[in-house]
Structure 1
Amino acid sequence: MVTYDSLHYPYPSQRNVTYGKNGMVATSQPLAAQAGLDILKQGGNAIDAAIATAACLTVVEPTSNGIGGDAFALVWVKGELHGLNASGQAPQSISIEKLKEQGVEEIPKFGWTPVTVPGAPGAWAELSERFGKLPLSEVLKPAVQYAREGYPLSPTLSYFWERATKAFKEVLKGEEFESWFDTFAPNGVAPKVGEVWRSEGHASTLESIGETNARSFYEGELAEKIDAYSKKYGGYLTKEDLAAYKPEWVKPISVNYKGYDVWEIPPNGQGLVALMALNMLKDETFSTRDDEDTLHKQIEAMKLAFTDGEKYITEEKEMSVPVDSLLSDAYAKERRALIGEEAIQPEAGEPSKGGTVYLATADREGNMVSFIQSNYMGFGSGLVVPGTGIALQNRGHNFSLDPSHDNALAPGKRTYHTIIPGFLTKGNEAVGPFGVMGGFMQPQGHMQVVMNTIDFGLNPQAALDAPRWQWMKDKTVLVEQTVPNHLAQQLSAKGHNIQVTHQSGSFGRGQIIWRDPETGVLAGGTESRTDGSVAAY
């Protein structure tokens, strides 16, 4: 069965690959990309540029991320790949028992209950301290300037801002949400395309984070404001939770896919899902991208991997099945054997037990960063700490209230996390950073971009522009209107419930930077489904 939606959302035109030699920044907002490039020109490295871009994005794309969100990074420095997990834990005072006593059967999307410790400011400080060249206060100056002086809204940003404002008017009714409207929709109206929006609260907060290397956010004045706001409205997050927080350096995980190593952050992130799907398909030969057999096998592999991910992924130490077992060749072959000619109803296997922004940066020294940051579900919890511009995330919504589930809520625990940065290497050489943001679309986008690059030889921009699909649940698959009709019909005949949509925003937004190992030339692609930009020199 093939169904079509009636929502009109214009599909943007494709763009050309951008080339550069000295440095490159690719992200979803031109102002943020330019800010990162300016930092490179001022003597900063790719790490400084990534921090500057990320901080700017909290200002120029608040519909997808904020100061009160989480972040992850893969950092290539001097021939080595480093992973940073800057996702925050559940507050120490929350528990399944406490919520159930209050009649909560599912963690809500909005308000204080789903709020977890923000990790993004900690990520900026940790990256700056370990790998940066410039002071954090200098690196955050572009973001401070945009917040204080304002900037005009771009088209896609305005679209999502207005949509969120309309939705929040319907669901955010309590006094605790007034600060969100004061900050992002003064007089109850979202800013329009070309209208200048500014936030002195954002500016002051970013200055404080820069001057104190984020200590004010976790132990100082900003922490006190967060704590007071939480106490006033019965929240679980405390200044003690903030003071105990520290980002974690982790060892990236990978699979070898047809001669390339594809890297992801280990759980609690869902990058493992992309790797499991690629592992199932690595011995397959695909003749062409726009082919019934190609798309069918991609979809089947992805839904098998996702079903495993939903059952097992949480904090790695809490998983009932080790990552190595899920990525083993034996398990990949076992799961691959389930892929036949017809769409199947996916079930988790039994292996051996033992609203987001993405950016990529590179500099002339060979350093490269894959960085992702999010509040989750657009603006997050709907809570903004009064006077600060700090929009708090609602990442705790992903916790399960089933005590027997691997991802069960527990005090001080990290939840299953959707945001994932990706990185590609070949041999001992970096190919470069890549990512596709967008909730549970992310591992699906990772797999499609990697295969577009390796299997089908598409350049960075073409790999991003290519039509996408998204497995939703059971046998339901969403496909873009640019997927040829005959392919949609052929997939339907195989038992897939194909839904063709004009809403390209649901298929994620990606960025890619590849480096030529011989010349050092950088080739970048940016998402044509949003206001994306590649800045290079």
Structure 2
Amino acid sequence: MNYDALNYPYPSQRMAVYAKKGMVATSQPLAAQAGLDILKKGGNAIDAAIATAACLTVVEPTSNSIGGDSFALVWTKGELHGLNASGPSPEGISAEELRKSGYQEMPKHGWLPVTVPGTPAAWAALSERFGKLPFADVLQPAIEYASQGYPVTPTLGKYWNQAYHSFCNELKDDEFSNWFTTFAPKGRAPHIGEMWSSEDMAKTLQSIAETQAESFYRGHLAEEMDRFSRQYGGYLRKEDLAKYKPQWVKPIKVNYRGYDVWEIPPNGQGLITLMALNMLKGFDFSHREDVETYHKQIEAIKLAFADGKAYITDPEKMKTTVESLLSDSYAEERRALIADQAILPEAGIPPKGGTVYLAAADGEGNMVSFIQSNYMAFGSGLVVPGTGINLQNRGRNFSLDPDHPNCLEPGKKTYHTIIPGFLTKDGRAIGPFGVMGGFMQPQGHLQVVMNAIDFQLNPQATLDAPRWQWVEGKKVLVERKVPEHIVQALSRKGHDIEIALDVYPFGRGQIIWRDEEGVLSAGTESRTDGAIAAW
């Protein structure tokens, strides 16, 4: 990247951060500092990422939990490795049974959308394969924050309070009572600056640390989840947990203007970013703040999402291949649909063939792109009594339509929104990047990649730049700082533009780049409590 360090066209309180020995960038200062402390104790970037991720389940419970899923891209010794730690649906559940019970779609809360959590298994697998320090040492900062407590940060406090009031209206049944006991112990959400702790969560993290996560999948924590599920008519069983293993996968990529952009393969939605970039590389972009830039980006992501929604699911159940969807011929066919006016996207026919993100790097050349999530803020609204385990609702994305590729089946992984990204050039690591936020994520990845490559913005400016989000049909949300003339011009092209009053829809990102001399540069999200800890 040949950007000028002072090339900073978007107002922010932050500048890009530079360091040499190590960096951790994430959405919570305490978690970033915990990762840096692990680096200073002799750990590598993988150890730092695990420590940060574990801390995030404590210090940002509105977005992720011990009972969620994770994905990672790990660069080490000149090679990129992918880890898919998303869990499948329980073996005892089926779309047919839910339809017979009167459901037309998967519910948002309760036991039905709960899938097997993959996060503890991800931490253990990363530590076993690439870590330097003992697993128990790496989880110690998270255990201490859970036990001793921490003061709630501003953005965290805002969304915690929103979730509390929403849950008060929506979650009336007894099965949800432990969520309120755990996350609203004073009969309300904790105030900004107020201390919050969970001794139950601390004990669970301690058990995971001591057993390499075995207690979660084949021990007493699995027994507790099984008991709680049976008590309230859930389908999750200890047998589902016992058979779970995260998968090491081969990352997928496209080459965009000389850079390889990497994502996790399906069931993740990173494929959508790559399909859109494959279309957009056929155009030239001279200015970021230009209506044609916005228009073509939006049209490409719409077409890519149409294909993603039609085809992405458990890779063993997909009706086409990644190679077909990323072929140059298919990209050319889809690119030809991008005209002067906004279109309603439809899936093509390819040729046959509530989240947290962190980036970590060390002085040895290791780099990690890591993401984990509950899904939809606090997830299912279920907290396993006595454990502090807040269970995700990832199964919400399943369809109950038997003809849909992502239809619910026993033991199936659903279309997954959380995706880590990574950039390389000529076989050399540039670094990890990510933007969390549901279906915003592939759109955020697209905008980050183009900001960095096409418009040569430094990491912080890349993240601070105004964002848009395609929602459905021709509807597009834009941030208030998108120039008015761009908004008006997009409207004339047929886009249904809505200016968002909150930054929440536009995700929260982190970036760490490494140059040829090994100097690290990073940006963190100005839309949240982001922080970079550097050494």
Same fold (TM over 0.5): yes
SS in 2 for 1:346: coil
Hey, what's the Cα distance between the residues in 2 that align with 1:503 and 1:94? 38
Aligned to 2:83: 84
Give the 3-state SS of the residue equivalent to 1:349 in structure 2.
coil
Task: Quote the residue 1:457 is aligned against.
Answer: 456
SS of alignment partner, residue 441 of structure 2: helix
Quote the residue 2:506 is aligned against. 507
The 1:503–1:215 alpha-carbon spacing in structure 2 relative to 1, beyond 3 Å, is: same
Q: Which residue of 1 aligns with 2:489?
A: 490
Match of 2:45 in 1: 46
Alignment of structure 1 residues 114-129 onto 2, 5 Å: 114-129=113-128
Amino acid at match of 2:437: G
Q: Which ranges in structure 1 are unaligned for 5 or more consecutive residues?
A: 1-10
Alignment correspondent of 2:274 = 275
Displacement of 1:354 = 2.0
Deviations 1:85-119 (A, max 9, x none): 00000000000111111111111000000000000
The answer on whether the counterparts of 1:343 and 1:495 sit within 8 Å (CA) in structure 2 is: yes
Give the aligned partner of residue 336 of structure 1: 335
Indicate if the aligned counterparts of 2:11 and 2:464 stay in contact, CA closer than 8 A: no
- Corresponding residue number in structure 2 for 1:6: none
Cα displacement (A) at 1:284: 1.3
Structure 2 Cα separation of the partners of residues 14 and 76 of structure 1 = 31
TM-superposed CA distance for 1:186, in Å, is 1.4
Cα-to-partner distance string for 1:205-244 (whole Å, 9 max, x where unaligned): 0000000000000000100111100010010000000000
* Total equivalences in the alignment: 526
Name the counterpart of 2:139.
Answer: 140
How far, CA to CA, are the matches of 2:204 and 2:125 in structure 1? 18
* Matching of residue 221 in structure 1 with residue 220 in structure 2: yes
Identity rate, percent: 71
**Aligned equivalents of 2:195 and 2:202: distance in 1?**
15
Alpha-carbon contact 1:106-1:401 (below 8 Å) kept: yes
Which amino acid in the other structure matches residue 429 of structure 2? A
Q: Specify the alignment match of 2:290 in structure 1.
A: 291
Secondary structure (helix, strand or coil) at the match of 2:65 reads coil
**2:496 & 2:253 partners in 1: Cα distance?**
32
Which residue is equivalent to 1:422? 421
Cα deviation for residue 12 of structure 1 reads 8.9
CA 1:327–1:14 in 2, change beyond 3 Å: closer, same or farther? farther
Aligned-residue offset at 1:13:
3.5
Please tell me whether the aligned partners of residues 162 and 191 of structure 1 are also in contact (alpha carbons under 8 angstroms).
Answer: yes
Name the SS of the counterpart of 2:127 in structure 1: helix
Query: Which residue of the partner structure matches residue 525 of structure 2?
Result: 527
User: 2:36 maps to which residue?
Assistant: 37
Deviates more, 1:115-124 or 1:348-357: 348-357
Matched residue of 2:107: which SS? Answer: coil
Q: Which amino acid aligns with 1:20?
A: A
Equivalent residue, structure 1, for 2:302 = 303
CA contact (8 A) 1:128 1:136 kept: yes
- Distance of 2:418 and 2:319 partners within structure 1: 22
Query: What's the counterpart of residue 5 of structure 2?
Result: none
Question: SS at 1:188's partner residue?
Answer: coil
> Could you report, residue by residue, the CA deviation over 1:137-171 in whole angstroms, capped at 9, with x for unpaired residues?
10000000000000000100000000000000010
- Quote the offset at 1:135 in angstroms: 1.0
Q: CA–CA distance in 1 between the matches of 2:88 and 2:483?
A: 44
Alignment of 1:297-376 (within 5 A): 297-376=296-375
CA distance in structure 1 between the aligned counterparts of 2:140 and 2:62, rounded to whole angstroms: 21
Which residue of structure 1 lines up, in the alignment, with residue 73 of structure 2? 74
Deviations 1:239-296 (A, max 9, x none): 0000000000000000000000000000000000000000001121101000000000
Contact map agreement 2:468 2:477 (CA 8 A) in 1 = yes
* Amino acid across the alignment from 1:521: V
Whole-angstrom CA distance in 2 between matches of 1:316 and 1:220: 29
CA distance in 2, matches of 1:534, 1:451: 22
Output the CA distance in 2 between the equivalents of 1:125 and 1:516.
30
Contact 2:371 2:418 survives alignment (8 Å):
yes
For 1:401, the aligned partner's letter is L
Classify the secondary structure of the residue corresponding to 2:193: coil
- In 1, Cα distance between the equivalents of 2:375 and 2:522? 26
- The 2-side partners of 1:170 and 1:156 are apart by 22
Partner of 1:3: none
Preserved CA contact (<8 Å) 2:82 2:248: yes
One-letter amino acid of the counterpart of residue 410, structure 1: E
Aligned to 1:7: none
What does residue 534 of structure 2 align with? 536
Kept in 2, the 8 Å contact 1:270–1:416? The answer is yes
What is the CA–CA distance in structure 1 between the aligned matches of 2:388 and 2:521, rounded to whole Å?
Answer: 35
Aligned to 1:230: 229
Q: TM-score, normalised by structure 1?
A: 0.97
Query: Quick one: distance in 2 between partners of 1:382 and 1:199?
Result: 16
Counterpart amino acid of 2:519?
V
TM-score normalised per structure 2: 0.98
Amino acid at match of 1:522: L
User: 1:459-515, CA deviations, whole angstroms, 9 ceiling, x for partnerless residues?
Assistant: 000000000000000000000000001100000000000001121111000000000
Q: Which residue matches 1:470? A: 469
Which residue identity is paired with 2:247? E
Aligned to 2:106: 107
Kept in 1, the 8 Å contact 2:144–2:202? The answer is yes
| 1:40-91 CA distance string (max 9 Å, x none) | 0000000000000000000000000000000000000100000000000000
Indicate conservation of the 8 Å contact 1:262/1:275, yes or no.
yes
Q: Which amino acid aligns with 1:220?
A: G
Paired residue secondary structure (1:523):
strand
CA distance in 2: counterparts of 1:18 and 1:386, whole angstroms: 42
Aligned residues of 1:12 and 1:529 also touching (Cα < 8 A): no
Give 3-state SS (helix, strand or coil) of 2:236's partner. Answer: coil
Amino acid at match of 2:73: L
After superposition, what is the alpha-carbon deviation per residue over 1:174-226, rounded to whole angstroms, capped at 9, x for unaligned? 10000000000114200001000000011000000000000000000100111
CA distance in 1, matches of 2:187, 2:311: 42
| Cα separation, 1, equivalents of 2:408 and 2:504 | 30
Aligned ranges 1:59-208 → 2 under 5 Å? 59-208=58-207
How far apart are 1:316 and its partner, in Å?
A: 1.3
Q: Which runs of 4+ in 1 moved over 3 A?
A: 11-14
Any conservation in 2 of the 1:89–1:116 contact (CA below 8 Å)?
yes
Give the letter aligned to residue 27 of structure 1: T
Question: Is the contact between residue 12 and residue 528 of structure 1 (CA under 8 Å) also seen in structure 2?
Answer: no
Taking the aligned partners of 2:462 and 2:91, their CA distance within structure 1 comes to: 43
Q: 2:463 and 2:138 mapped to 1: Cα distance?
A: 29
CA contact (8 A) 1:358 1:435 kept: yes
Task: Look up the match of 1:377.
Answer: 376
Between the aligned partners of 1:435 and 1:501, the Cα distance in structure 2 is 22
In 2: Cα distance, 1:291 partner to 1:428 partner = 32
| CA deviation string 1:345-379 (max 9, x = no partner) | 11000111222000000001000000000000000
Letter of the structure 1 residue corresponding to residue 534 of structure 2: A
Aligned counterparts of 1:485 and 1:428: Cα–Cα separation in 2: 41
RMSD of the alignment, in Å? 0.9
Is the CA contact 1:376–1:439 (under 8 Å) kept in the aligned structure 2? Answer: yes
